Amino acid sequence: MQTAGLALHTDKYQINMMYAHWVNRSHQQKAVFEAYFRKLPFGNGYAVFAGLERIVHYIANLRFSDEDLKYLSEQEENYDTAFLEELKQFRFCGNIYSMKEGALVFPNEPLIRVEGTIMETQLVETALLNFMNFQTLIATKASRVKQVAGDDILLEFGTRRAQEADAAVWGARAAYIAGFHATSNMLAGQKFGIPTKGTHAHSWVQSFSSEQEAFDTYAKVMPDEVTLLVDTFDTLKSGVPHAIETAKKLEAAGKKMSAIRLDSGDLAYLSIQARKMLDDAGLSYIKIVASNDLDENTILNLKAQGARIDTWGVGTQLITAADQPALGGVYKLVEREVNGEMVPTIKISGNPEKVSTPGKKDVYRIVDRVTGKATADYIVFPDEEKPRDRLKLFNPQHPYLQKYVKNYEAVPMLHQIFENGKLVYELPSLEEIRSYHRAQMELFWPEYLRKLNPEIYRVNLSEKVWDLKQKLMAEFMQTEE
Ligand SMILES: Nc1ncnc2c1ncn2[C@@H]1O[C@H](COP(=O)(O)OP(=O)(O)OP(=O)(O)O)[C@@H](O)[C@H]1O
Ligand SMILES: O=P(O)(O)OC[C@H]1O[C@H](OP(=O)(O)OP(=O)(O)O)[C@H](O)[C@@H]1O
Ligand SMILES: O=C(O)c1cccnc1
């Protein structure tokens, strides 16, 4: 949760490279980096961009404290004291462009672009990727859960199983961006204004002599928000009948119980049986909450089995992104200063997918004016004209996939966040981010959004970008000969 004091939240090699540039007197040279990922997580058709707010706080507060400098002075690298003196004055003074949180984003397009001195752009890589990769991963996982849950209520229950505190709190926020309705984490509620919800644990029931006493006592204390956990002993023989009894007592006092929660066993069967028991008792207003290691696949499956579940509590599988615990976002140098000029740079790899795309780039989302749907993302150099007329979308590896589009809106996706170190972007509220995300979902045909074998959305390079990439690859091959 910390935002100040994160200057050392970086890999040592960043400090070492900064130092080596400083010794080499090349530290003030300009550089441009871009952050992107190559492969979508979970076999999904899109990712949900998140992490910007934390990145903004990090960049705005980036300072080396006296303790940080003391720690650096004790390192075996023996950093020169003049270097450490310079770090004392360090402030991020560059430019940052970024996708907005909640945007649907795709492989191999710049999500964040960082421009500045090589020293400052290098330093921020680690933290920036750390925040972007985790929060984007969790928002994407949450979006998959949201896709199958439809209009049902989704509660984020992951804190106890999260990879420590920051992951729990920022993960809860990422889930909310993607459409969860509430979190059980009170700190996330306090910090971000996310609605909070809670039922009770098995220990509540165990701490009384009988389940009935436990339920009645809880209901008396919180008569307007009562959700009773019914599986401590036997869901259908004991839990549900006792909950019905409590609900009747509440009714006699003019109150209505909210829900019961199922947390084990066959959730389809138990929810159908419990629904029937509640309805037969005239308590059809009581909802059914389910939890127990749920994810998008179990929820989809339970729905297919006719489960009568209104609210899903999703913890471990979501907050740990259990089926793919990391997003492989990378941060690559795309331009560097040579004799006062910015020149594009490329990273070659034996794996063609890993060859970087040189030059600093912008992203446009091409939206069909007739259908209102996104057709492709289009990557251009900033000095190219904004696409307006008939536009050729081509996939150089597969020329038969070439297509022309017209009558479209080219929506710029990267927004300026910092200008010469000054924050020029007004951070949207969480509600604004959520509604932007909903609008983004609306922008795409369902075939790109389905969770199983989605259609691949086009991300195309302009001819200029493609030509430069070819040219630099060819130059590399010549120098290798
Ligand atoms: N009808 C169902 N179809 C598919 N999956 C289900 C169904 N009912 C429950 N599940 C899921 O199956 C898994 C059951 O896990 P497990 O067998 O460990 O739990 P349990 O024995 O019911 O409860 P406990 O938490 O007490 O161990 C959970 O992930 C749960 O969400
Ligand atoms: O299963 P998840 O998706 O991670 O959801 C959170 C889980 O955490 C709680 O169980 P736990 O056994 O920790 O405590 P309890 O005694 O309250 O059931 C809760 O009952 C859920 O089963
Ligand atoms: O409120 C709940 O029911 C809850 C909260 C956290 C984890 N499991 C359940």
pLDDT digits (tens, 9 = 90+) for 267-318: 999 999 999 999 999 999 999 999 999 999 999 999 999 999 999 999 999 9
Q: Whose CA is nearest to atom 7 of ligand 3?
A: 157
Ligand 3 proximity of 157 Cβ (cutoff 6 Å)? yes
pLDDT band at 110 (very low <50, low <70, confident <90, very high): very high
CB of 264 sitting under 6 A from ligand 2: no
Whether pLDDT at 321 is above 70? yes
477 or 312: which leads in pLDDT: 312
From 422, 389, 382, select the one nearest 96 (Cα to Cα).
422
Cα-to-centroid distance, 456 and ligand 3 (Å): 37
From the CA of 298, the nearest ligand is 1
Higher pLDDT: 399 or 69? It is: 69
Please say whether the beta carbons of 167 and 319 come within 8 A: yes
In sequence order, what are the beta bridge partners of 393?
403
The interface predicted TM-score of the complex, written ipTM, equals 0.97
pLDDT band for position 71 (50/70/90)?
very high
**pLDDT for residue 397 is more than 80:** no
Helix (H, G, I), strand (E, B) or coil at 197: coil
Task: Give this prediction's pTM.
Answer: 0.97
**Structure tokens belonging to residue 228:** 């009773």
How far is 119 from 19, CA to CA, in rounded Å?
8
Q: Judge contact between 40 and 129, C-beta under 8 A.
A: no
Alpha carbon nearest to ligand 2 atom 15, residue: 201
**Inter-residue contact 362 to 382 (CB < 8 Å):** yes
Q: Is the CB of 315 under 6 A from ligand 3?
A: yes
Closest ligand by atom to 262 CA: 2
Q: How far apart are CA 90 and CA 38, in angstroms?
A: 32
User: Which residue CA neighbors atom 6 of ligand 3 most closely?
Assistant: 157
Report d(CA 466, CA 257) in Å as an integer.
62
Q: Whose CA is nearest to atom 1 of ligand 3?
A: 198
